[in-house]
Structure formats: structure tokens, C-alpha cells
Amino acid sequence: MRNHINYGEIVATISAKLNRNPDHIMQIMQTLDEHKSTCYIWTICADAGEVFNAIDEIIEDLDINWHNALDQYADGIKECFLLGTVPTKLDMLNLATRSMENTQ
């Protein structure tokens, strides 16, 4: 089943998860500083949105609850930061596929 979530909604959902809790925002910024990341949180949200959206193009034949998958994916991105790591695109790919597998 084709994903009916557009790229903007994907990025907005991820951004909302990361920015909902003020304590989390401080922890995310600290993680970015500790890793001397040249990325901003918005760039990472955009990258994470691109990864999720690209996978949709590849696996359009599976019956996935896309909204639940996106919610799990955004939680996974947030957890990476809260555990003190900046998610790479490979991390994002793993999180996205896992969230999609969990919501079939």
C-alpha cells in the first residue's frame, strides 16, 4: 500500500518529537555539541525525512501502517540523541525499516 504521508509531514513529525520536551532539546543540543556535529537539528530532521520517504518508494507493495511506522521512527531518532549519539543515515535506514516491519 502506498504511503500517503508527504515529505513535509514526515519532517514535521520528527521535528515535533525532538522538540516536544525542553529537557530533551537541551540533551539533543548537548549531544550535537559533544560530537562536534556540523549539522543542525533541522538538517537531521530533513535527512531523516528523506530516508523514510525514500524507503516508501522502494517498498510500496507492502501493507504498512505508515502513521504508526512514522511515529516509531521518530521515537527511534529521538532515542539515538538521548543515548548520546547523532544518528547517521545508516542508523536512520535501520530505524525506518525496523519501524515499518513492526507495523505491517
pTM: 0.90
Amino acid 34: pLDDT: 86
What residue type is assigned to position 22 of the chain? P
Q: Cell for 76?
A: 527511534
84 φ/ψ sector (left φ>0, alpha ψ -120 to 50, else beta): left
Q: How far apart are the C-alpha atoms of 1 and 51, rounded to whole Å?
A: 18
Q: Where are the domains of the chain?
A: 7-102
> What does each of the 104 residues of the chain score in pLDDT, given as a tens digit?
455 789 999 999 999 999 999 999 999 999 988 887 677 888 999 999 999 999 877 876 678 888 999 999 999 999 999 999 999 999 999 999 999 999 88
